[in-house]
Structure 1
């Protein structure tokens, strides 16, 4: 099969090497808990804990490749041969924080959890960050011996209620957990309706609909002591299952989960690799972090459409296609390299993006006055150096019925990357 955007990890060359999952891994998960700490210049990572989970629920194909570079990578090398045997790209809330003005004045810690296949032999693991200039920095290099007694190996019996809401016929499906946050026991019927509504909406989008048999979705129902979501600016503090909170980075509608270890503790023993959290709130808000989680207020109108947008971030690594001058995290880029997200371009190397999809007479850049041109190269925000594919897309507006051609293609390629030999 042909992939448009495959990027081999930045260190080393794989050449013609291709491995079988069973060559290096057991059908188990190694959970790695890290703390990322630093400021806008200096960042470090520290390993906090390791745990063995009895089943591997991630991809078993293409383990030594990434389709998207991400803002960082966790790379696993066979210690005996120094051969790259597994790599996963990711983004983190910590990296967003390092771009803020406050990060110039103080340091801060963030939790991060990575799920990787459990190795049969000793491995070396590298935690890599890419900075604004797209330069790679190794924040941590450590060795994991699968026989290490510090790896917690006693599985936890999970007694949280779950329901499979979308079954898969695929031998290695993409496993999604849709998790309740801020719902009391008596409110779980509402959560179940919301979870099903999200799944129905997800599979109305062409790329997901085409491959819906390759997804398994399970609803997970941890009961929260308090109903609702923490909102610091209103001094509303809730005791909830995942400790989600509005006001991340002082942005009213930025809803995130910073206690990610507890989130994974809640999900332990449940088959998942991707996470969607539905928050019990009528206040508009959400967030999506690539290969970490998506979260959205579930009590708002059209919540399912907006949750699909956030899943576009967390699952497919798609960038926002809307921009506001007041955004704290306003995307900007240098014109000497392309951003890794597939639906934005700096025009530094547009051949690698969606140029092939454009009509021959499409002007580059394209002006917004060309209303009848569904696909072009439109300026995201004057002066920010970023261009987007179109005027209507799920990553741009809640009113869009589907992702644009570029985003749909990127999603489809990623689904195939996860599931096809």
Structure 2
């Protein structure tokens, strides 16, 4: 039955040049606050062909804390590259990393090469340029390459099918925390959240460049793990709340669990929607994003977290507590929508000569409100109040922000607004408001451009040199 399904999926795709197989290199990435190391775990041929854009094998976006490079082992020619970030990279900045070592599973996926290759992991150096961190030689014909395919645990279904995966961004929506009698709910959630994504610019204008697939495995119990409240579930993807001690941060640290599920659908990017009403989510560039599908703020969570995962967008907010620690230095972020430059050189081409740099905004009243608001938020969680009260707090917060920003002389200007990247000072965001700053419904101009650049990477030919 599995073979018949995979064959039918392939037959449904437009006839084109036969794509290569998909090769996945599973690794361990570990260390502590000041050291890191890598180790090869296994090499796997996935059951479906490579879904990526054959016209854009090389990533020129300069996004991510890391970059995968695949080079011909004999000639050294670069065959494939992609920027990405990691859970380990985030954990390395937590207090826990100062006192212990941990390792995390990661996967490096690329089109099956014809000959042995050198797989390199690059990382950002002190000057923000990529430098080699680790490499391994992979022979695609090697005896240790796993080629056997087990039966798929469930069938994916198409939420949006616009054609050949090779010329589309293939978004896979995985589900977690859905019981056997909640599969219809998962399907409805997947359709609802995808519809919302394509109501937000620039996704709205670029909907034809996407396919959306959805896949889940039913669970014995409804919901996902939230250890801080004593709730534990054996989920389909390993997702849980309380990542790095943050009650709202929800990720999977079980890379193999979600990869082994995702491999049965075409995908370039993955969002895990989980069956919970409690506000929460997360997003790692080039890995996956997550959103609580039952939250009153599910639409916002789905798009905001996808912005992290898909386009490498930075968080522009700075008043909410996060698990990461920050030193006193202010290096220039690699993310396209945050800068340490008060003159906004990163997006100067979008700045009007009439806009002052740095750009004034009602920062003091915003911060005074947020100090009180964040204290109320912490108290609601400490008292384990109903989720409806937390949702109302967020509605009140957004209403305050909307009123505060209404009519501001630079409300629609691109400039350098101080306060971004979890820091009140020293970092600047492009516009007064954005989906990456508050729970509003739109991206700023810089974020929108950054999203389109990645859509192009997966759906368009490479730009011609002048």
What TM-score, normalized by structure 2, do the two folds share?
0.80
Spell out the pairing of 1:39-50 with structure 2 (5 A cutoff): 39-50=32-43
- How far 1:205 sits from its partner (Å)? 1.2
* Structure-2 change in CA distance of 1:132 and 1:220 (3 Å): farther
Structure 1 Cα separation of the partners of residues 252 and 126 of structure 2: 24
Q: In structure 2, which of residues 211, 219, 227 is the aligned counterpart of residue 216 of structure 1?
A: 211
Aligned to 1:4: none
* Structure-2 change in CA distance of 1:39 and 1:162 (3 Å): same
Matched-pair contact (CA < 8 Å) for 2:272–2:289: yes
1:376 aligns with 2:415: yes
Structure 2 Cα separation of the partners of residues 380 and 75 of structure 1: 34
Matched-pair contact (CA < 8 Å) for 1:332–1:384: no
Aligned to 1:323: 318
SS class of match (1:161): coil
Aligned to 2:431: 390
The C-alpha deviation readout for 1:159-207, integer Å capped at 9, x for no partner, is 4032101111455211111111010010111111111111111111121
Larger of the two Rg values belongs to structure:
2
Spell out the pairing of 1:9-408 with structure 2 (5 A cutoff): 27-53=20-46, 54-130=48-124, 134=128, 136-169=130-163, 172-324=167-319, 326-329=321-324, 334-335=329-330, 338-347=332-341, 350-351=344-345, 353-369=346-362, 371-373=408-410, 374=412, 375-380=414-419, 384-398=425-439, 400-408=440-448
Greater mean alpha carbon deviation, residues 231-240 or residues 179-188: 231-240
SS class of match (1:206): coil
The count of aligned residue pairs is: 395
- How far 1:307 sits from its partner (Å)? 0.7
- How far 1:69 sits from its partner (Å)? 3.0
Judging by fraction of residues, say which structure has more helix. 2
Matched-pair contact (CA < 8 Å) for 2:280–2:301: no
SS class of match (2:409): coil
Greater mean alpha carbon deviation, residues 313-322 or residues 58-67: 58-67
What TM-score, normalized by structure 1, do the two folds share?
0.89
Unaligned ranges ≥5, structure 1: 1-21
1:418 aligns with 2:458: yes
SS class of match (1:102): helix
- How far 1:269 sits from its partner (Å)? 2.4
Structure 2 Cα separation of the partners of residues 330 and 391 of structure 1: 25
Matched-pair contact (CA < 8 Å) for 2:216–2:236: no
Alignment RMSD (CA, Å): 2.1
